Amino acid sequence: MSDQITSTFAALADPTRRAILARLALGETSVTEIAAPFEMSMPAISRHLKVLEKAGLISRGREAQWRPCKLKAEPLKQAADWLDEYRRFWEESFDRLDEYLKTLQIKEKKDARNKNGSGKKRR
């Protein structure tokens, strides 16, 4: 699985490939339609598609002259699940930090009252 995640993240590292995946998230489309918004050659687009295909993020077919590309979301789910573990770690860390900061604020308020004399006991 980690090899799959490595391939997924390597493929996602390029903004052109991320844009291609975003387009394919809307539905199956042809290589020509995928290439349209990019200012690059068809061979360059083809290389990006090969990287995505090798990472298991897309599938490519052939129907006569039409070469449809389709998003395969499972590797993205695996990467998202992997990242989710770290998201939980950071959320828990931030929650602990928040509690600590609240404790410090309460202590500062008490110290400030004591310093100003308002915290003294009256007899």
- The beta strands (E) that lie in 61-115 are given as 68-71
CB 63, CB 52: distance < 8 Å? no
Neighbours of 56 (CB within 10 A): 16
Stated pTM of the model: 0.70
Q: How many residues does the chain have?
A: 123
Which residue in 20, 110, 36 sits closest to 120, CA to CA?
Answer: 110
What is the full per-residue pLDDT of the chain (123 aa) written as tens digits?
558 999 999 999 999 999 999 999 999 999 999 999 999 999 999 999 999 999 999 999 887 777 899 999 999 999 999 999 888 888 888 888 988 899 999 888 888 888 887 555 555
Query: Maximum distance among all alpha carbons in the chain?
Result: 97
Instruction: Count the alpha carbons within 13 Å of 98 in the hemisphere toward its beta carbon.
Output: 6
